[in-house]
Amino acid sequence: MVWQKEDISAYEAFLKKHKMILVFFIFLFICLSMRLFYLQIVKGSSYRKVSEQQRIHNTYERAPRGVIYSADNAILAENEFSYVALFYPFEQQWTLSDESIKELNKILGRNIKFTADKNWRYGTFIKLADNITIEEMFKIKEKKLILKDISVIKKPHRIYYYPEVASHIIGYIGEIRADEIEELSEQGYKVGDYIGRGGVEQSYDKYLQGRDGDWQTEVNAKGYKVKSFKYVPPEIGASVYLTVDLKLQKVAYDALKNSSTGRGAAVVLDTRTGAVKALVSCPGFDTNRVGTKDFGIYLKDKKLPLFNRSLQALYPPGSLFKIITFVAAVELLNVDAEKTMHCDGSFELGDRHYSCWYKPGHGEMNLISATVQSCNIYFYQLGLKLGIKNLEKYAKNFHLGQKTEIDLPNEKRGFVPSPEWKKLKSKVSWLQGDTVIFAIGQGALWATPLQMAYIIAAVANKGVYYKPYIVDRVIDFNGNEVYKHTLECAGRTDVSDRTWDLLYKALLEVVESGTGRRSRLSGIKIAGKTGTAQNPHGKDHAWFISYAPADSPEIAIAVIVENGGGGGLNAVPVGRKIYEAYFNVESEKEEQQ
C-alpha cells in the first residue's frame, strides 16, 4: 500500500488531535505497571502474610497456672478442670441441627438453647455449655458422628487450699483489664488472659502463667471453617515453692484469730537467711470466692479482711523503738548500764507532764531494768540527751522508713519524722516534747509488722540484715529450675560488741522476768521486747518482737494485735504459740503478775 500525501497529512492531524489522549493512556499504563510491581514485588510478602492470617484462624485453649507449694510440699494453689462445649459453623451452616441439639440435651440432661450471642464466643466459636463433667465429655466424643459440629475443650479453674490462712501470701487471679493490655501485650498477655492479683500470684505471675494451647483452623473468604489442621496443647505454668511453713502459718493465724480482737498480723523470719516462715494478716478472706457474688461481703467488712496488715498497715512501733534508743545511748553517750534514774510515774518537761505506762512509777531504773520493765521515764531522759538528730540517724540505721524489698507486691515503707519534715508540714519547729515521744516510738513514727520482724532479725544477727523472701525456687513444666533464691545481705548496722552484749542481756531478761515472760518456754531461751502503741482512734495496739534460741538464733517474730492493749498481755501469747509450734514444745503455765 502506498501512502498518499493527503493520507499522511490526515494521520498527522489525527495524532495531533488525539495526542493528549494517547499520552494519558501511556501514563496510566506506566502507573498500573508500577503499582503492580509495588504490590507483587515490594509488598508481596507482607500481603501474603496478611492473607494467611485471614485464612488461618487461631483459637486459644487457656493453659493451667503453675502449682504453688509450701516449704513442706503442701499444695496451696492448683487447678481444677471442667469442660466446655463449643460450636463452630461449617461452610453454610449457621445453626446446629435439631438432631445435634436433641442429642446434646440428652447427654447433658439440660435444655441447651442455641443462640449466636457474641458475648458467649471464644473467638468465632460459640459456647454451648460449661461445667461439663468428664463423663459427659466422653459421651459427646462417642457421638461424634451426630455431634460433628461440636468440640469440647478443657477449661482450668484456680482453686486455693487454706484460703483464709494463706490469702495474703498467695493472692488470687482476675481477668486482665483493658488498660493493662497496652502495658503487658509485649510480654505476651492478651485479651481474656487471667493474671495474678496480690501475693505470689502477682509477683511471680510470669512464671505461673502457662503457655496457652492453640487450635489452628482454615477458613474460607466468608469466614466459615473449612478444616482443622494443627493443634498445640496447652503447657502448664511453672511450679512455685515457697519458704512458708504451713504448720507455723496455721498456728499464727489461729492464734491471732483467737486473740482479744481477732485482728492483727504476725511475721516469722529465718534469721539465718531472711526466709519468710509465716506471714499472717488477720482476718483473711476466702480466695475461692473471688469473682463470685459472695465476694462483696469482704468489701463491706469493717474489719478489712482484704487489707494485708503484715506489710501494708502502718503502726507506731511504741516501746519496740526503745531498742534503737538503747543502742544509740550506749554508742553515743557511753551510758553506764548500772547507773540509775528515778521513775515516779511522771516526767515534767516545761509545762507538760509525760507519764509512764506504770502509773505508780518503777522507782530506780538502770539501762537493763528500764528495758525489762519498758520504763518510759528512763527512755524519755535518754531521748533528750541524745537529741532528735541522733535518734533519727539511728532509726534510719536500723532501716526504719525503708522497704524491705520482699518479693511480694504493695509493701509500704513506713516513715521516720524529722525537724525539717515537721517545719514543712506544720509550719512549726520541732520541740523537745517531740523528741521525748520519739524516743519511745510514738508520734509520726510508722512501721509495718514486716519491718519490725526485719529489725529484730537483724538484732539477732548483731546488725546483719538479710533481705526477706517468700519464694525459694521455681520449677518449670520440664522439671528445670528456672529460678532459685540466693542469699542476699541487705546491709549492716555497725555497733560495738559491748552494745550488742548489753542489748542481748536486756532482751533476754524481758522474757525471763519482764513484760514478755508469758512467752517463756522450757529449755528454750527467747529474747524479745513488748510494746504498746498509742492509737488516737481507739484502744492501743499490742506489740511483741523476739527471736530464739537467744544464744543461737533461728527465727525472729513480730506480732501485733490491733487494739489489743498491752503487748505483754495480748501479743506475747500469740508469739508463744508460734514458738511452741516451731520448737514442738509446751510453754510453762505461768501467768504474768
The DSSP secondary structure of 48-73, one letter per residue, reads HHHHHHHHEEEEEEPPPPPPEE-TT-
Q: What angle, rounded to 10 degrees, do the helices at 388-397 and 376-386 form?
A: 100
pLDDT of 228 higher than 80: no
pLDDT of 551:
94
pLDDT of 47 higher than 80: no
CATH 3.90.1310.10 occupies which residues in the chain?
62-101+118-242
pLDDT of 5:
56
Nearest 5 degrees, angle CA 421-CA 412-CA 180? 120
CATH 3.40.710.10 occupies which residues in the chain?
246-583
Closest C-alpha to 134, from 101, 100, 107: 107
Closest C-alpha to 543, from 570, 518, 517: 570
pLDDT of 4:
56
In whole angstroms, give the CA distance from residue 550 to residue 525.
Answer: 5
Q: How many CB atoms lie within 10 A of CB 476?
A: 17
pLDDT tens for 276-335 read: 999 999 999 999 998 888 888 998 999 999 999 999 999 999 999 999 999 999 999 999
Strand partners for 333: none
Cell numbers placing 224? 466459615
pLDDT of 217:
64
pLDDT of 157 higher than 90: no
pLDDT of 590 higher than 50: no
pLDDT tens for 180-209 read: 887 887 787 877 788 999 999 999 999 999
In whole angstroms, give the CA distance from residue 310 to residue 295.
Answer: 22
Q: Does domain 62-101+118-242 have CATH number 3.40.50.2300?
A: no
Closest C-alpha to 452, from 539, 326, 559, 548: 559
When the pLDDT of each residue in the chain is averaged and rounded to a whole number, the result is 86
Task: Report residue 407 CA to chain centroid gap.
Answer: 8
Q: By the 8 A CB rule, do 97 and 150 touch?
A: no
Average pLDDT of span 4-33: 68
Q: How many CB atoms lie within 10 A of CB 592?
A: 15
Q: Which of these ranges, 74-88, 498-512, 514-528, 564-578, has the smallest mean pLDDT?
A: 74-88
pLDDT of 591:
43
pLDDT of 442 higher than 90: yes
CATH superfamily of the 246-583 domain: DD-peptidase/beta-lactamase superfamily (3.40.710.10)
Phi, psi angle pair for 353, to nearest 5°: -115, 130
pLDDT category of residue 122 using cuts at 50, 70 and 90: very low
Task: Give whole-number Cα distances, 319 to 47, 239, 323, in Å.
Answer: 72, 42, 8
pLDDT of 221 higher than 70: no
Which pTM does this prediction carry?
0.83
Task: Report residue 179 CA to chain centroid gap.
Answer: 20
In whole angstroms, give the CA distance from residue 119 to residue 121.
Answer: 6
In whole angstroms, give the CA distance from residue 430 to residue 387.
Answer: 11
Continuous segment of H or E residues that includes residue 280: strand 276-282
pLDDT tens for 340-369 read: 999 999 999 988 989 999 999 999 999 999
Q: How many CB atoms lie within 10 A of CB 306?
A: 17
pLDDT tens for 448-491 read: 999 999 999 999 999 999 999 999 999 999 999 999 999 999 99
pLDDT of 92:
39
pLDDT of 224 higher than 60: no
Closest C-alpha to 233, from 124, 158, 156, 137: 156
Query: In sequence order, what are the residues at sequence separation of 6 or more whose Cβ sits closer than 8 angstroms to the Cβ of residue 495?
Result: 327, 330, 331, 463
Q: Which of these ranges, 70-79, 149-158, 283-292, has the smallest mean pLDDT?
A: 149-158
Phi, psi angle pair for 496, to nearest 5°: -75, 160
Q: What share of the chain is helix, strand, coil (3-state, %, to 5)?
A: 40, 25, 35
pLDDT of 90:
45
pLDDT tens for 515-552 read: 999 999 999 999 999 999 988 788 999 999 999 999 99
pLDDT tens for 388-434 read: 999 999 999 999 999 999 999 999 999 999 999 999 999 999 999 99
In whole angstroms, give the CA distance from residue 586 to residue 571.
Answer: 18
In whole angstroms, give the CA distance from residue 399 to residue 401.
Answer: 6
Phi, psi angle pair for 134, to nearest 5°: -65, -35
